Chains A and B, each alone.
Chain A
Amino acid sequence: MSETISPPSLWRDGRPVYDRGGTVCVIGAGASGLAAIKNLKEHGFGVDCYERETGVGGAWNWRHDRSPVYASTHLISSKPLTQYPDFPMPDTWPDYPHHSQLLSYLERYADHFDLRSHIWFGTEVVRVEPVEGGRWDVTTRGARGGAERTQRYAAVVVANGHNWWPKTPAYEGQEQFRGEVVHASAYSDPAQLRGRKVLVVGAGNTGCDLAVEAAQQAAKCWHSTRRGYWYTPKYVMGRPADQVNDLTLALRLPLRLRQWLFHRVLRMTVGDLSRFGLPRPDHKVYETHPIVNSQLIYYLGHGRITPVPDVARFTRTGVELTDGSTIDPDLVLLATGYLPRFEFLAPEILNLDADGRPRLHMHTFSRTHPTIAVAGLLQPDSGLFTLVHWQTVAIARWLRLRESDPQRAAAFWNAVASSPDRRWTQAKVKDSTRHWFEVGHTVYLRALQKTLDELEVAA
């Protein structure tokens, strides 16, 4: 591990390249990047992290341009299934903390493990290019402009998040619509809804949260969903629903039995959704990303939310739905999700397919370049931090093993390079831009456990 920098002896396109020796570059200081810094550090690596914003926390920092959080955002997974496994959230916090608590949690994590001294704030990564010997030239510049500079790293961990590039559908006639159409990423405060007639499009967790906010604030709220979903309440039998669910996982009940049990519980607690005018779910539970919302049904029952089918086209004064009816909202909120983006990387490095989805081993390891990995590109049915912690431990162990035991590393690499794509879920999950990186936390963690055991470096 080299700690000092020699004067430039390397050049790339007529510009100097500074050699950072065995140091690893981490891109992004959100929840995934912070875990990557901490775990790489713990495994003895020098770490430089680049963060375009001026604080840690990434998506969870509401001050950030790219943060998707809105004023009322709370966790949808409970504390034990959300926190970093080696840094628990305080006992005094509620089961489902608020986003501002999440930010303070991440800030405390950064201070506790002294991570800030590794982070270059206000610095954006422009290009990441492979060079000979499995190393990487990382070109950065100030987030508000400035000269570029290039440094050479032993490895790169990409942790740039996947909830900042809005996926915006284009509807027929949208340009002539006189009302306002905004993506949920631009929504932050309920004052934006007050007194307006709001159409919320999308039945993800954000869509349902926004529909509930509109029910409380707006003059009128329509909620457009393409199909029927299962709406899990936040509490079942007086306990956080995900904890009850994990009990059935801990007991290793078979999927069919768990689905049957879950259907029974939903039947008894939420009941028949078609009574509320919602379409019947066309799939079993566990086959789509869980939607956790206790209040949606409540407001449907109070007539504050009107469920409507998918949007067909926009007209000058309103929106035409697929069932032929017309509504007249003056604000359309598109809670249609986000897409992952890696602008600083050539598409072949992460093996991006035509739809821009990276094809990675366990959504982590590149199959062509052993020294680049992606952290946190997962859509789990639990909180992300536990998964990303062990994912970054696996990355750190992998980089260590490459140095300490090339023979075992080669064997692992052969397995990675030839591994087929697979799903890390128990049930067969519907294929969509939202669901391709969906993972079941137990399935994925058990696979990670296997990987960690393979990568164990003899002490």
Chain B
Amino acid sequence: MAGRTRIMRAREWAYPVPPVRREVLSAQPEADEGRPPVLFVPGFGHGAWAFAQFWLGHTAARGFPAYAMSLRGHGASGSAPHTTLRAYVHDVVQVAAGLPRQAVLVGHGAGALVVAKALARYPARAGVLAAPVLGGFGSFAAALWRNPLGTIPAVFGGPLRLGRRQLFSRELPAETARQYTSRLGRAAPLAQWQLLAHRPAEAPVGAPPVLVVGSPDDRVVSVSTLQRTAARYGGAPLLFPGMGHDLMLDARWREPIDAILDWLEKAFAATERSPLIGYERLDDLLPPVRPADPGAWVA
């Protein structure tokens, strides 16, 4: 996805996003293999807990340092009733920049929109948009058609509610599904309205690879939306039939995360090399030029 890089941000310089306490959960691999950290960003209503359930531990078990955050007003992050999408993007960039190494951003649902916007502000190693809700009037009409009772209150500033049958497949026991839905919170009204009309995400900085994953049986995001989104980033979506919108909590949660991690492994296999390798041979050829202080030399 190409596009003009915007560098003037006078409004953001004049009005920085107010800070708020942020919940970040993490799971570390047993041995650090130098893999990039993976940061999971939940969608509206969800918190870091949604990833802590399965994906966080699984990602760490496969050797990637894994982090999950809650956007402001969600999970255990500080409350923020008058928040816009910009503040959510700020939260993601703050957490990503605070990680020890350049991170992979994984956004789910409306969190994928937040990640798409964060990719334009932070040079991630890679981006993953899982069941991305990118908003717009088309998806509003679809939401209204599929789930009128959950959608109409949001028009008037109420919470945007998703039904159990939208979020999960029938494979997930009803009791478990009820437990998950009872934990759902809500996004700020302004941010919900912004789903309807917002500036589309700018082109990512640093040209990271971007993957789109989803389910053809997702009753929130249609296959055509998945395909359109993936095409914007120059690819095709990875599809997991028989799953609901909440890929990370549904009965077959293992399939999408394994596919994402496989993709990451493949993407990084080509680029993992040390830039100073050439010098080791050079040092064999030349008398070493080393300063008096041995600690000063890094090669």
Interface residues in chain A, defined as those with a beta carbon under 8 Å from any beta carbon in chain B: 2-5, 7-8, 18, 20, 42, 46-47, 54, 79-81, 85-88, 90-92, 111-114, 116-123, 141-147, 149, 242-244, 246-247, 249-250, 390, 393, 442, 445-446, 448-449, 452-453, 456, 458-459
Contact partners of A442 in chain B: CB under 8 A: 8, 10
Q: Look across to chain A and name the residue whose beta carbon is closest to the beta carbon of B206.
A: A42
Are the CB atoms of B206 and A111 closer together than 8 Å? no
Q: Look across to chain A and name the residue whose beta carbon is closest to the beta carbon of B122.
A: A86
Contact partners of B2 in chain A: CB under 8 A: 456, 458-459
A388 nearest CB across to chain B (Å): 12
Across the interface, A149 reaches (CB within 8 A) one of B14, B286, B293, B299, namely B286
Contact partners of B6 in chain A: CB under 8 A: 449
Does B270 sit at the interface, judged by CB under 8 A? no
In the complex, A3→B280 CA distance in Å?
A: 11
Does B16 sit at the interface, judged by CB under 8 A? yes
Contact partners of B20 in chain A: CB under 8 A: 91
Residues 66-108 of chain B, each 1 if its beta carbon lies under 8 Å from chain A, else 0: 0000000000000000000000001001100111111000000
Contact partners of A449 in chain B: CB under 8 A: 6-8
Are the CB atoms of A146 and B289 closer together than 8 Å? yes
Residues 142-161 of chain B, each 1 if its beta carbon lies under 8 Å from chain A, else 0: 00000000000000000000
Contact partners of A244 in chain B: CB under 8 A: 14
Residues 275-299 of chain B, each 1 if its beta carbon lies under 8 Å from chain A, else 0: 1111101100111011111011111
Across the interface, A46 reaches (CB within 8 A) one of B4, B94, B275, namely B275
Contact partners of A88 in chain B: CB under 8 A: 90, 93-94, 97
**The 8 nearest A-B residue pairs measured at CB:** A250-B10, A122-B296, A91-B19, A142-B291, A247-B14, A122-B291, A459-B2, A54-B296
Across the interface, A147 reaches (CB within 8 A) one of B100, B205, B289, namely B289
Are the CB atoms of B5 and A393 closer together than 8 Å? yes
Are the CB atoms of A5 and B97 closer together than 8 Å? no
Q: Look across to chain B and name the residue whose beta carbon is closest to the beta carbon of A92.
A: B19
Are the CB atoms of A85 and B9 closer together than 8 Å? yes
Contact partners of B206 in chain A: CB under 8 A: 42, 86
Most buried by A among B100, B293, B295: B293
Are the CB atoms of A111 and B291 closer together than 8 Å? no
Q: Beyond the given A80-B12, A247-B14, please list 5 additional residue pairs across the A-B interface where CB-CB is below 8 A.
A: A86-B206, A123-B291, A144-B293, A442-B8, A458-B2
B295 nearest CB across to chain A (Å): 7
Are the CB atoms of A246 and B14 closer together than 8 Å? yes
Are the CB atoms of B277 and A144 closer together than 8 Å? no
Are the CB atoms of A90 and B7 closer together than 8 Å? no
Q: Look across to chain B and name the residue whose beta carbon is closest to the beta carbon of A111.
A: B100
Residues 1-45 of chain B, each 1 if its beta carbon lies under 8 Å from chain A, else 0: 010111111111111100110000000000000000000000000
Contact partners of A149 in chain B: CB under 8 A: 286, 289
Are the CB atoms of A249 and B10 closer together than 8 Å? yes
Contact partners of B259 in chain A: CB under 8 A: none
Across the interface, B295 reaches (CB within 8 A) one of A3, A54, A85, namely A54
Are the CB atoms of B275 and A459 closer together than 8 Å? no
Interface residues in chain B, defined as those with a beta carbon under 8 Å from any beta carbon in chain A: 2, 4-16, 19-20, 90, 93-94, 97-102, 121-123, 205-207, 273-279, 281-282, 285-287, 289-293, 295-299
In the complex, A348→B97 CA distance in Å?
A: 41
Contact partners of A243 in chain B: CB under 8 A: 13-16
In the complex, A452→B207 CA distance in Å?
A: 15
Q: Look across to chain A and name the residue whose beta carbon is closest to the beta carbon of B273.
A: A3
In the complex, A434→B299 CA distance in Å?
A: 39
B81 nearest CB across to chain A (Å): 18
Most buried by B among A3, A20, A112, A393: A112
Contact partners of A90 in chain B: CB under 8 A: 94, 97-98
A15 nearest CB across to chain B (Å): 11
Q: Look across to chain A and name the residue whose beta carbon is closest to the beta carbon of B93.
A: A88
In the complex, A46→B277 CA distance in Å?
A: 11
Are the CB atoms of A118 and B13 closer together than 8 Å? no
In the complex, A249→B12 CA distance in Å?
A: 12
Are the CB atoms of B99 and A112 closer together than 8 Å? yes
30 contacts between A and B (CB under 8 A): A2-B278, A3-B278, A4-B278, A4-B281, A5-B281, A8-B285, A42-B206, A85-B7, A87-B97, A91-B20, A92-B19, A112-B99, A113-B123, A118-B276, A121-B296, A122-B293, A122-B296, A142-B289, A143-B296, A144-B292, A145-B292, A149-B286, A243-B16, A246-B13, A250-B10, A442-B10, A445-B7, A453-B4, A456-B2, A458-B2
Q: Look across to chain B and name the residue whose beta carbon is closest to the beta carbon of A7.
A: B285
A61 nearest CB across to chain B (Å): 14
A118 nearest CB across to chain B (Å): 5
Q: Look across to chain B and name the residue whose beta carbon is closest to the beta carbon of A83.
A: B97
Across the interface, B279 reaches (CB within 8 A) one of A5, A249, A452, namely A5
Known: A87-B122, A112-B97, A143-B291. Is A122-B10 also a contact (CB below 8 A)? no
B231 nearest CB across to chain A (Å): 14
Are the CB atoms of A250 and B296 closer together than 8 Å? no
In the complex, A456→B273 CA distance in Å?
A: 28
Are the CB atoms of B102 and A112 closer together than 8 Å? yes
Are the CB atoms of B291 and A144 closer together than 8 Å? yes
Are the CB atoms of B298 and A47 closer together than 8 Å? no
Contact partners of B290 in chain A: CB under 8 A: 142, 146
In the complex, A156→B277 CA distance in Å?
A: 21
Q: Look across to chain A and name the residue whose beta carbon is closest to the beta carbon of B276.
A: A117
Contact partners of B93 in chain A: CB under 8 A: 88
In the complex, A42→B271 CA distance in Å?
A: 12
Q: Look across to chain A and name the residue whose beta carbon is closest to the beta carbon of B4.
A: A453
In the complex, A122→B10 CA distance in Å?
A: 39
Q: Look across to chain A and name the residue whose beta carbon is closest to the beta carbon of B279.
A: A5
Across the interface, B11 reaches (CB within 8 A) one of A46, A146, A250, namely A250
A275 nearest CB across to chain B (Å): 31
Are the CB atoms of B285 and A452 closer together than 8 Å? no
In the complex, A186→B255 CA distance in Å?
A: 62
Q: Look across to chain A and name the residue whose beta carbon is closest to the beta carbon of B281.
A: A5
In the complex, A79→B12 CA distance in Å?
A: 11
